[in-house]
Amino acid sequence: MYIDFDNLKFFTPWRRRLILLLIDISILNFSIWLSFWLRLGNEGNTRLLESLWLFPSLIICGTLTYAFTGHYRGLTRHLKSKALYQIIGRNFLIVLLVSSIGIMFQFTMPPRSSWILLWILLSVLIGGLRFVLRDALIKNRQRINSRNKSRENLVIYGAGTAGAKLASMIKTEGKANVIFFVDDSPLLVGRTLDSIPIKSPKNLRNSKYKINKILLAISSISNSKRNKIFNKYKNLNIPILTVPSIEDIVSKKIELNTKKPLLIEDLLGRDKVLPDPILLSDGITGKNIFITGAGGSIGSELCHQLIKLNPSKIILVELSEHSLFKIEKELNAYKNKNTSIHSYLGNVSEERFISKIFNKYKIDIIFHAAAYKHVPIVELNPLTGIKNNVFTTKTICKAAKELDIPKVILISTDKAVRPTNIMGASKRLAEQILQAHAKEISKTNPKNRTKTKFSMVRFGNVLNSSGSVIPIFKEQISKGGPITITHPEINRYFMTIEEASQLVIQAAKLSKGGDLFVLDMGKPIKIIDLAKQMVALSGLSIKDQKNPKGDLEIIFTGLRPGEKLYEELLIDAECLETSHPLIFRAMEKFIEPRDLWEKLNKLETEVNEYKLKSSMKLLSELVPEWKIK
């Protein structure tokens, strides 16, 4: 049986110190008797009776010296050799004080050699006990942590000073298992370091060791050497993490290797926008939520955020079988018993499919995230892009309106603002569909109390989402470059995927009908600056004319078809404040419903008949900001 002293309420800091104090008093008394016995044998007991003043003097001087010199402030489990030297010094001071008291008051003094013997005994017994306790606590902690079957097997690459310190720290905590060191030096292979074997790097390929992580602990390693190690062992599919040296930590030059996940927040260029807890939970808890595109980047994160807010039901719709399986598995892993998950594989543009689901469940909120969003791909497949982005929206809105579903939230994009590409134009048309429905409802139901509220959420690029520059740059950096950027002046607004999802959820609560919600995303970030920051966070440098010996080169490839240099969040509307200081509401202009429905029906016919030229002409009429090229 092993006791977790850290979690026992009885062992408060003061009680621990009291226990150590009582042990030290016992040792002080025992050391006096032992010093007399070792020096004088049986005669020592007689001489000791003549020097009883030593006991109170030693206890008073000893406890006061220990108390005022920090003897009880140190953590026993983390004692180092320095603590032993401090104990020796304290005991010398104690012996000196006690002997001074004897001389001052002319007490009967023991032989001179007994004072030296007393000093040695105190140092050995008190110092030795502390280190015995330290080792016992470390062993106890290791045994407690060893019960955790998920402890990782670690290998430390580098059997030098950095590796030894790292192994000592891991061993002290006992939460992982260092199975061996590897080192390139043949002089070290076959030896041990702190009882841990040092092996050749070729042992990393031996599957019998079941290695979970490799920790690269070589001080002052060059970037080229580090990348060489990564490239040599990357096919093992074992994470290789660089441990910063003490010098790097002190000088704030901590470098992250290319295999270690980047902190996306570090790339944002601003503080994260924190959600309003009331806006998040108030509109979701106990509700039936319907999500299209549930397996996509935004859709899946939206699901992860929603499941935390305890809805009654989450109904997932996804066209990709793999994506649907993945998100359903993730949600079922940590949902509570009050939330049920219902998954549907199918196309959102099929009216009967959607109507059947809507009639089966009493839906409270629809989050429409299904869309094709990759600008170059939609540019090459315009009719498919329009069909998915526009007519799925039409189907959802029509069915929601017929069944009086309270709220429909469309997830849009800043590319819908004065679009220069078909993806942006299709998303702007999807926005207009919601705006037209909202206008019709406001006419028939001015107070808009019970009818469907249609709203849109428009935001910029989402960091680390599928198709964003982050995964592309990560891959290019891991391969040693070059990094490709379309234009040196191109910039974008960025937000985290968590921010995007929380914005969508809060918009559901703020929705009044016909609203467009945007987030204060700070200043746009230049893509070239983002690339340079990622390279720096990876511990590498840019190769250019100023630094010809750099690691990675940046190449400009030219703007892609339909790509803008700059993005905007509003067309011509003014932003109005909401209850959240960084979420704003706007009302954009749109085509009147009667005109919109007529042209939209024509567009649907042309798209279904794969008439590209006439479809593009109709799209440009419906979204006048977009021009056919």
pLDDT of residue 395: 94
Segment 31-38 shows an average pLDDT of 81
Distances (CA, A) of 164 to 173, 193, 216, 308: 14, 7, 12, 42
pLDDT of residue 505: 85
pLDDT of residue 310: 87
**Which pLDDT band, with edges at 50, 70 and 90, does 423 fall under?**
very high
Segment 306-335 shows an average pLDDT of 90
How far is residue 464's CA from residue 73's CA, in Å, rounded to a whole number? 46
pLDDT digits (tens, 9 = 90+) for 478-519: 777 788 887 777 777 677 778 778 878 887 788 888 888 877
pLDDT digits (tens, 9 = 90+) for 241-261: 777 655 554 444 444 343 344
329 vs 239, more confident: 329
pLDDT of residue 564: 54
pLDDT of residue 570: 47
Q: Is 470 left (phi over 0), alpha (psi -120 to 50) or beta?
A: alpha
Residue 466's SS3 state is coil
pLDDT of residue 269: 54
Q: Is the model's pLDDT at 461 over the cut of 80?
A: no
How far is residue 290's CA from residue 294's CA, in Å, rounded to a whole number? 9
**Which pLDDT band, with edges at 50, 70 and 90, does 8 fall under?**
very low
Strands 192-193 and 196-199: antiparallel
pLDDT of residue 216: 84
512's tokens = 């009044």
Listed in sequence order, the residues at least 6 apart from 34 whose beta carbon sits closer than 8 Å to its beta carbon are 121
**Which pLDDT band, with edges at 50, 70 and 90, does 400 fall under?**
very high
Q: Is the model's pLDDT at 125 over the cut of 90?
A: no
pLDDT of residue 77: 58
76's tokens = 């026993």
How far is residue 266's CA from residue 347's CA, in Å, rounded to a whole number? 37
Neighbouring C-beta atoms of residue 328, cutoff 10 Å: 19
Distances (CA, A) of 403 to 354, 356, 519: 12, 11, 30
How far is residue 521's CA from residue 530's CA, in Å, rounded to a whole number? 16
pLDDT of residue 601: 92
pLDDT of residue 568: 52
Residue 459's SS3 state is strand
393's tokens = 């929206």
pLDDT digits (tens, 9 = 90+) for 170-185: 876 667 888 899 988 8
Q: Is the model's pLDDT at 383 over the cut of 90?
A: yes
pLDDT of residue 445: 61
Q: Which of 366-370, 500-504, 597-601 comes out lowest in average pLDDT?
A: 500-504
Phi first, then psi, for residue 270 (nearest 5°) are -160, 170
Q: Is the model's pLDDT at 459 over the cut of 80?
A: no
Domains in the chain, please, with CATH? Answer: 5-146 (no CATH), 152-260 (3.40.50.720), 286-462+494-521+568-622 (3.40.50.720)
Neighbouring C-beta atoms of residue 293, cutoff 10 Å: 27
Distances (CA, A) of 421 to 143, 244, 477, 620: 62, 45, 29, 11
Q: Is the model's pLDDT at 50 over the cut of 80?
A: no
Q: Is the model's pLDDT at 122 over the cut of 70?
A: yes
How far is residue 131's CA from residue 82's CA, in Å, rounded to a whole number? 12
* Summary count for the chain: helices (H), strands (E): 21, 22
Q: Which of 3-7, 405-409, 541-545, 567-571 has the highest mean predicted lDDT (pLDDT)?
A: 405-409
Tell me the one-letter amino acid at 131.
Answer: F
Q: Is the model's pLDDT at 571 over the cut of 50?
A: no
Torsion of CA 70, 72, 75, 79, to 10 degrees: 70
Round the average pLDDT of the chain to a whole number and report it.
79
pLDDT of residue 434: 92
pLDDT of residue 260: 41
Phi first, then psi, for residue 559 (nearest 5°) are -60, 140
